[in-house]
Amino acid sequence: RAVIGQQVSTAAARTHGARLAQRYGEPIDDPAGGLTRLFPDMGTLADAAGTPSAGGQAVLAMPAARRRTLVALARAIANGEVDLGAGADWELARRQLAQVPGLGPWTIELIAMRGLGDPDAFTATDLGVRQAAAALGLPDSPAALTRRAAPWCGLTTRPTPRRPSESTARPSTRPCRTTSRSRTTTARSPWTTNRRRAGP
């Protein structure tokens, strides 16, 4: 989903995903009526994304470079070159993802956040995050933002790319607890602290 959703709207990414599931997913019987198909496995996804349709175009209507990235990632996961499974090492997974052509810092961190569940994943290169930081008077370079946010959970930034004005107008006042392999840290949000200093 992170690759499919690159530089497109959420609705477009949802359409791409639904199209893949409808055409290549395995039908299931859901008594509740919510699901009709499973999402295709990585091997099937790699073949589907790279297979021309009858009209001469690939199944997914996306730029060729992004389609190649999707195929490369799906094959790497299917072949065990990238491990995103339960219990996967977060930093090792990042290094593995970085070897996939077409995956940059934003996509890798988004996968770490949503796919691996890393609470410290942080999309510091996201334009919305940087705009929100600038509005709060924070340095907006990715490196400076990462230092400022650590060890704060990147999950607090998820709404920011979509609604930077809301995020800057009503910053969270709740403490963010991050549990790492070595320690648990609780403190006040760096965004809130800076806003108080900048106020009258």
Q: In the numeric block, which tokens belong to residue 90?
A: 């977060």
pLDDT tens-digit readout, 82-97 = 999 989 999 999 999 9
Question: Among 3.40.800.10, 3.40.50.2020, 1.10.340.30, 2.60.120.10, what is the CATH number of 10-114?
Answer: 1.10.340.30
Helix (H) or strand (E) holding 178: strand 176-179
Q: Which residue has the higher pLDDT, 182 or 30?
A: 30
- Domain ranges in the chain are 10-114, 127-198
Query: In this predicted structure, what is the pLDDT of residue 95?
Result: 96
Residue with tokens 């709740």: 174
- Position 136 scores a pLDDT of 84
Q: Which of 1, 200, 8, 2 is nearest to 110 (CA)?
A: 2
Residue 52: what pLDDT?
62
Q: Residue 122 contacts by C-beta under 8 Å, 6 or more apart in sequence? A: 109, 113, 145, 146, 149, 152, 154, 157
pLDDT in the model for residue 155: 52
Dihedral sign for Cα 43, 48, 49, 52, please. Answer: positive
Quickly state the pLDDT bin for 163 (edges 50, 70, 90). very low
Residue scoring higher pLDDT (121 or 53): 121
Supply the pLDDT for residue 55. Answer: 42
